[in-house]
Amino acid sequence: MNTPGEIKRRLTSVTQTKQITNAMYLLSVSRLKRAVESIDYEKKYVEMLRRTMEDILQVTKGADIHNYYIDKSPLGTALFMSVMGDKRLCGDYNHAVAELTKEKLPTKKDPLLYCFGMVGKEILAADGIIPDRVLPGSSMHPSLELAKALSKELIDMYVTDQVNEVYIIYTPYSGAKGKPVCFRLLPLLRHDFKDAKDDYSPTEMLYEPGAQEALDAFVPKYCSGMLYSMLMQSAASENAARMEAMQSAASNADDMIKELQTQLKTARQLSITNELAEITAAIKR
């Protein structure tokens, strides 16, 4: 059995660990609150983006419009953008995204991989997958400027046939138990828009100067808006997962503290009993 001194040192260590997990929990709560406030607005914005894109795609259906955003090129390869974090201690959040990434990559020939977050890079590298590009710090602190810059880069690669498909693997925000999904950003296939139907009859739309020009102007805004929303949701999902993990760790620390306190009390009683026994034996001699 451990001595009272050893138990006290372990008790001190667990107590300090609990203080750290409590601090990380409170920090995650604060970040999550700010992220969720932004997500509520972003969801409405994304809904309008997708509704507008759906309208354009349905109106142009059957029309003699051949657009590189709609028509998949036989040239180029697929590009996957995997959104993970730069820090650990968030449950299986990063591993879940990494597993879906490893599942999707083999479905395409010679795909490119962009990885958000240093932890994601480490997890994938452990399985021999080396990302073509790593974007550290961008998942926890997403910005519209970053989304715009990346969208421009992706569109340039797409229209020059360097890539013919763009997928984003991210975790939609739905609390701490969110599951990652793979979203096709380009090309704009009509069946990817769940609300689009064959008998869809939107209000008549007028294009100036034309439908093709309107589509070319709207797609960059659509891509940057969708990418920014996905980065925001991923950041919120990571904070929610970390909040739950730290809450669970603090709860486990409480259980350990109670157990160690019981052990310390028992060890002290045993020590006192042994000392009394030794004194009694010495007196009898």
For each of the domains in the chain, give its residue range(s) and CATH number, in order of start: 27-242 (3.40.1380.10)
Kindly report the pTM of this predicted structure. Answer: 0.79
pLDDT of residue 198: 46
Measuring CA to CA, which residue among 194, 198, 202, 184 is closest to residue 81?
184
Rounded Cα distance between 119 and 136, Å, is 9
Q: What is the pLDDT of residue 165?
A: 93
Measured over all CA atoms, what is the biggest interatomic distance in the chain, rounded to whole angstroms?
Answer: 112
Residue 82: the pLDDT is 94
Residue 80 amino acid letter = F
Give the CA radius of gyration of the chain: 28
> By the 8 A CB rule, do 69 and 219 touch?
yes
Per-residue pLDDT, 196: 46
pLDDT tens for the chain, 285 residues long, are 677 778 788 878 888 887 887 787 777 777 777 777 777 777 788 888 888 888 777 766 655 555 678 877 788 899 999 999 888 888 888 999 999 999 999 999 999 999 998 998 999 999 899 999 999 877 777 888 999 999 999 999 998 989 999 999 999 987 657 799 999 999 988 777 765 444 445 556 676 777 777 778 888 999 999 999 899 898 888 888 888 878 777 777 778 888 878 877 887 787 777 777 777 777 766
